[in-house]
Amino acid sequence: MKLKKRFTLSLKNNLRFIPDEAYMRLYFKAKLHYEPDFECPKTFNEKLQWYKLNYHNPVLT
């Protein structure tokens, strides 16, 4: 278990340099086993990811 966790953390660390949308697409595909549609989101999970990518309120940051 420790080796798996270390591998996962290493992979996440190396993926932080790619753009946000590409990272979300890879992570979404790995976890939910289908391609997300961020242009016209239909499922709740797609809508949440779209919101995280597109909602930029300066008060929240």
Residue with tokens 């995280």: 52
Domain assignment present for residue 12? The answer is no
Q: What pLDDT does 61 receive?
A: 63
Kindly state the tokens that stand for 38: 């961020």
Gap between the terminal Cα atoms of the chain: 35
Number of separate domains in the chain: 1
Q: Is 25 exposed, middle or buried (0-12, 13-18, 19+ CB in 10 A)?
A: middle
Q: What pLDDT does 5 receive?
A: 85
Domain assignment present for residue 38? The answer is yes
pTM metric for this prediction: 0.71
Domain assignment present for residue 54? The answer is yes
User: Tens of pLDDT along the chain (61 residues)?
Assistant: 688 888 888 888 888 889 989 989 988 998 899 999 999 999 999 999 999 999 988 887 6
Q: Distance between CA atoms of 31 and 48, rounded to whole angstroms?
A: 14
Domain assignment present for residue 23? The answer is yes
